Structure 1
Amino acid sequence: MTVTYVLDGSEITGLDSFWQAIGEAVNGPGGYFGRGLDAFADCLGGGFGTPENGAFVIEWRDHAHSARTLGHEETARRLERLLPRVHPTNRARVERELAEARAGRGPTLFDDLVEIITDRAGPGALRLV
């Protein structure tokens, strides 16, 4: 049996609210399901609320709203917070990504999250509605 987790995209106002919304969609009120891209990817592998056999779907409702709120502006905000802590060998890459995000170009956080779900949970695990 496939479990469906409903993510209400109309409630997402930025990355922090995404972490709260996905945590609650999977694990109930106050639930945790990652608070960073790497932790989120790990959680999708199973054992953090989703079935170990991968039989689940994330139904992301009002994803168009989420795409806007997790767009270039929020992407730039995340990269600005990340930049002071990034390893020196990655600094130039993060600075380029930040410049692109500020210019409204390149992948957004929404794009990254969709890619992570698709890569880690498999094809068909994400339903954008």
Structure 2
Amino acid sequence: MTVTYVIDGARVTGLDRFWDVIGEAVNGTGGYFGRNLDALADCLHGGMGTPQDGDYVFEWRDHTASARALGHEETARQLRRSLERAHPSNRAALRHRLDEALLGRGPTLFEQIVEILRNDGPGTVRLV
């Protein structure tokens, strides 16, 4: 039997809110399912509430609202935050990604999250 986790895209207003929404979708109220992109990938590999046999699907409803909320503007905001605490050897690469996001180019947070869900998760993400 396949388990479906529903992400309510209308509730995603930014990255911080996304972590709450996906945590709740997988593990119930107050649930955790990552607080950064690396942790999300780890959760997908390590169970963290998902079925151990990997028979599950993410259904992202109203994904267009999430795509807007996690678009280039939010991506740039998060990159600015990362730049402030980044190791000096990583700052040039982050600065380049920030410049691209400010110009509306490069992958958005939404695109990165969908890619992680598809590549590290069950491989099935339905965008509805």
TM-score range, shorter chain: over 0.9
- Secondary structure, counterpart of 1:35 in structure 2: coil
Q: Which residue of 2 aligns with 1:30?
A: 30
Alignment of 1:21-60 (within 5 A): 21-60=21-60
Q: Deviations over 1:84-126 (max 9, x none)?
A: 2112221111000000111111110001001101110143x21
- Amino acid in structure 2 at the alignment position of 1:44: L
C-alpha separation in 2, matches of 1:127 and 1:46 = 21
Counterpart contact for 1:45–1:54, Cα < 8 Å = no
> What is the alpha-carbon root mean square deviation over aligned residues?
0.9
| SS at 2:75 equivalent | helix
Task: Please tell me the residue identity of whatever aligns with 2:25.
Answer: A
* TM-score where L is the length of structure 2: 0.97
**Which range is displaced more, 113-122 or 21-30?**
113-122
Given the alignment of the two structures, is residue 96 of structure 1 paired with residue 99 of structure 2, yes or no? no
* Aligned position for 1:82: 82
TM-score scaled by length of structure 1: 0.96
Q: Give per-residue Cα distances to partners, 1:57-80, cap 9 Å, x unaligned.
A: 010000011000000000000000
Give yes or no for contact 1:60–1:128 (8 Å, CA) kept in 2. Answer: yes
**Matched residue, 1:7:** 7
Counterpart CA distance in 2 for 1:13 and 1:40 is 18
Aligned to 1:65: 65
- Superposition misfits of 4+ residues, deviation over 2 angstroms: none
Unaligned runs of 5+ in 2: none
Q: In 2, are the aligned partners of 1:44 and 1:120 still within 8 Å (CA)?
A: yes
Tell me how far apart the structure 2 counterparts of residues 5 and 112 of structure 1 sit (CA, whole Å): 19
Distance 2:119 2:89 in 1: 26
Q: Structure 2 vs 1, CA of residues 46 and 55 (structure 1 numbering), >3 Å: closer, same or farther?
A: farther
The sequence identity of aligned pairs, in percent, is: 64
Letter in 1 for 2:54: G
- 1:46 Cα shift? 3.4
